[in-house]
Chain A
């Protein structure tokens, strides 16, 4: 047994260049698997996190009629508490649900600013600044100035939006919007901060203002358009969701929808499906590299036909021959996969820090789609082990073809060859 393994290892050095080419092919395939898996996971993580932060929270409570017209940002169907009694009581009740760590109200509305050339459409988000800074990445995105403060007529905007309206931090801007009573209203705000992020929606569309000011200006006191519920981990959502539904049912509130972050996203289920499909693609990718290995092994068998015949004549059994060639292929598989897994891990570790900027290629995507143009691949040992194991198993199995060919040779005929 040990003898055969030793022999197989030695055989690898008989044609070094062929062995190296085979191992490089395997390494390359495994490296791509590690990288692609890291990239896909990074994309899913990024899409999920951004969707949770800027759209849904882990669970979203919203009026059913508002949900149907969400794109219109209508103010006719707000979340106004249990039986219209205001948000405060409702938020307290929701915070007492086991697993809910934070309840974040947001008041979203359509707005516009008139410039010399055009009317620039935008979305106002009335928020509790402290909660937003704690829950989202806003602090990181604020590259100039500060976040809005409660009770003040001030706004924070993205760089691209500021450019569109030709304003900068410190300037004043008059924003037009329709109130809950369909009155057009114009208010002058001070711009106190500038955001820069990979999210088109935050760069080009949204401006933040304090929730209390938004409620006052829109005539929606103690109301919001949505409540975002935050749990300690998104995996807890299936557990917490029924409890929130039960609470609303107990209060007799049928007009509110309680939706998990997956239900409010088109992208996340699509990404999950893509990840499942990619798992099959990885197998085909490694199989492709196996073509090189199998080809090398077939050539080896052909070159060593006489030697195989002699070994068989000296008493080496069929299973030993099979083992010899499978071991030879497996060693290439192990070494190549190890090299590929390490290289892939190193690449992902580097890219996880610097990220990929999809900025230009995603310029055509709608600003309303929450998709960060900066993607950071995930660097994980789990992914590298997965790719390594995939490489070793598939290459070893693929080596069965040339190994069987060698084992099936008739000793007398084989010795006559060459």
Chain B
């Protein structure tokens, strides 16, 4: 009788240990969540056709562009009639601009990169930054929530020491199933909310989920928001040599 009782206790204990172990090992850490998001959203090279719709009070302005990205470098070529031919090239911390009616290239850097690109709520840095989030921020998991009926992990990232970032702190809502950021709150070091970004459309490309329509609201401006719509995207294409050179910009 006693032997039988001991056997039952042992089996139950084993089951409990097994359940705890399973739960422990299956729960993802913040680092793993962000890494899986980076795996989806980060790329070696990329080429995309996109449209940016700027809504400022009653005004609606649309701009179309082709963008290229590779590591730290980014290139945007505008194609809508009013901006046709304007090209922005980001190389490291500098941004070079080419305008068809200008005889020289224009270089901007530093805090200017945080200004709204072409009057939009996205800054140059937002548009052309391609570093992995895990390299820039130290994340911690702070909870779970639902965005548009989709369960999400809620993470908070603080800039890693020595890393140059536009936003000191960011709160991210990452889709639990697809590992795509669905919402982002971007804060200054002072704690002030600077921007909020929502992803309203996600699509699967070449085995990875990618945000196709994002909406950014600059909280320092009144009544404005900008939609960034990716019309088509190609991951890791072979970009021509010299795509990110100043010579190519002219």
Interface residues of A (CB under 8 A from B): 76, 114, 119, 172, 174, 176, 178-179, 181-188, 219
Contacts and interface: CB of A to CB of B under 8 A. Distances in A.
Interface stretch (B39-47, B95-103, B125-133, B238-246): B95-103
B108 interface: yes
B82 A179 contact: yes
Contacts, number: 56
A186 B54 contact: no
Nearest 6 CB-CB pairs, A to B? A182-B119, A186-B99, A186-B102, A188-B103, A174-B102, A114-B106
Q: Is the interface of A mostly helix, strand, loop or mixed?
A: strand
Given A174-B99, A184-B86, 15 more contacts: A114-B108, A119-B112, A174-B103, A174-B106, A176-B106, A181-B82, A181-B119, A183-B118, A184-B97, A184-B117, A185-B86, A186-B99, A187-B101, A188-B101, A219-B82
29 contacts: A76-B56, A114-B106, A114-B107, A114-B108, A172-B103, A174-B99, A174-B102, A176-B97, A176-B106, A178-B119, A179-B82, A181-B82, A182-B54, A182-B61, A182-B118, A183-B86, A183-B118, A183-B119, A184-B118, A184-B119, A185-B86, A185-B99, A186-B86, A186-B106, A187-B101, A187-B102, A188-B102, A188-B104, A219-B82
Q: Is the interface of B mostly helix, strand, loop or mixed?
A: mixed
B104 to A, nearest CB: 5
Contacts of B99: 174, 185-187
A126 B97 CA distance: 24
A157 to B, nearest CB: 17
Nearest to A175: B102
Interface residues of B, number: 23
A329 B117 CA distance: 78
Contacts of B108: 114, 119
Interface in B79-129: 82-83, 86, 97-99, 101-104, 106-108, 112, 117-120
B219 interface: no
A64 to B, nearest CB: 15
Interface string B68-86: 0000000000000011001
Contact of B56 (A174, A176, A179, A182): A182
B97 A183 contact: no
Contacts of B63: 183
A114 B118 CA distance: 17
A186 B119 contact: no
B83 A183 contact: yes
A114 B115 CA distance: 15
Contacts of B4: none
B59 interface: yes
Contacts of B119: 178, 181-184
A178 B99 CA distance: 13
Contacts of B61: 181-182
Nearest to B62: A181
B250 to A, nearest CB: 13
A47 B59 CA distance: 39
Contact of A186 (B97, B117, B118, B120): B97
Given A114-B106, A181-B82, A219-B82, A186 B101 contact: yes
A174 B104 contact: yes
A23 to B, nearest CB: 65
Contacts of B120: 182
A179 B118 CA distance: 9
A76 B224 CA distance: 14
Nearest to B63: A183
Contacts of A183: 63, 82-83, 86, 118-119
Contacts of A179: 82
Contacts of B118: 182-184
A76 B102 contact: no
B92 to A, nearest CB: 17
B149 to A, nearest CB: 35
A176 B120 CA distance: 16
Contacts of A172: 103
A132 B135 CA distance: 57
A112 to B, nearest CB: 9
Contacts of A186: 86, 97-99, 101-102, 106
A183 B106 CA distance: 15
